[in-house]
Structure 1
Amino acid sequence: MKKLIFVLILPLTLIFAQTKDEEKIIDLAGKFALMFQIDQNFDLNSFDGMSFAGKYFFSDDWGVRLAFRTSYNEIDQSASHSNFELDQNTNLIQDHDYVSYKVTPSILYHLLNHNSMHFFIGGGPFISYTNDEQAEVRYTKATEEGRRNNWAKYYAIGFAFYTNVEWFVSQDISLSAEYGFEYSYAEIEIWEGNYVDDDLISEINRDSINKSFRSLPVSLGVSIYF
């Protein structure tokens, strides 16, 4: 339901954008813009679903865009379990760190405009990196019973294609909605180690390749032109 409401914002924006006023002529040639976007996965704590971009138009029809997306999350948890019959108290400490970066340079083409509404298509390559680390320590009273560490690293490259509609509320500020697709090729490295009293007793290494084609979340944004 949340995603449906999010997507419905786009046609509502288009409806309110229509005006009986005289058509506004906005020349994009030579203009630079800073753009901020969020999608339906936006999380203020981890910054997931948020991106920043810079745009520059060589002419009224052609431009370039460089978008940067990052996500970070850190979770520390602890729990305990008591067995009074055996007089045992087991404690569990968990730590989870996650960080991700993605950079997407792209070419923009100004497809058409109607009044204050401007339609763009764009595409370009991207590169991304993700590091996901987890640690778990289990101990009884003062004696450590076991510890498990694991991490996963994702290295991805690909190509993204998107369509974007911007409503210029003034000569220098626009609101936008964007939707697109991407193809990615990712190399994944996974490691897991199990310890007893700081001695490594077993480990697992896995390498894999993942190829995917997927749709991108609908994004809403604001751009400021200079």
Structure 2
Amino acid sequence: MNQKCPLCHSNPEHHHPVKGPLERRYLHCPVCDLVFVACHNLLPVNAEKERYEQHENDVDDPGYLKFLNQAVEPTLPFLSTEMTGLDYGCGPGPAICQILAKQRIECQNYDPIFGPALPQGPFDFIFSTEVFEHFHDPEKELRQLDALLKPGGILTVMTMFRPAPGDFENWFYARDDTHVLFYTMKTFEFIASRFRYDMMWNDETRVVILKKRNENKF
């Protein structure tokens, strides 16, 4: 079945099958370097919700907070107490806002499955931690994120970067059947270029900090 890349919409004739875990079809887009799960293997929303409810995201768990701080701590130099932000895809146990509150930085929550509803914005900064790998329509989600972010605003994304092709077949991160998109730094460079962002920082493992340019896009 032919399927355009869900991020860049490139021609499916150029996509290559990739061996991966679970009985799913994975395709690699050479234009944006995204590996994505074929649409017929995507879970329905109710099945996704059941899977998410099994995650242990306890806002009082020091280990969970330490995990999220991999994204928060490198972002703090770009933030101030005058700013207001958004945790986009906060899940059933939102913790980013709790961490930022200790720094006297205001942040709101949003999750499409668990709520609350999407605030109006725009925001000075947005966190999206362990969310990008779940997107079924990343181009649509990125447009929504961009519309929510002020010019000059900060977007921090946390998602584990895809390993080399030989290591993908048994990669633990792809064994979660709600993980359907897998990115590299090249993918985020494509996103930054397409949406007119500057790459401010990355840890070469799972965190990228982007800054929205003060200019019109289209």
- If each structure's helix is expressed as a fraction of its own residues, which one has the higher value? 2
Which protein is bigger by CA-based radius of gyration?
1
TM (norm. structure 1) is 0.18
User: Comparing both chains, which one has the higher relative contact order based on Cα–Cα distances under 8 Å and sequence gaps of 6 or more?
Assistant: 2
- If each structure's strand is expressed as a fraction of its own residues, which one has the higher value? 1
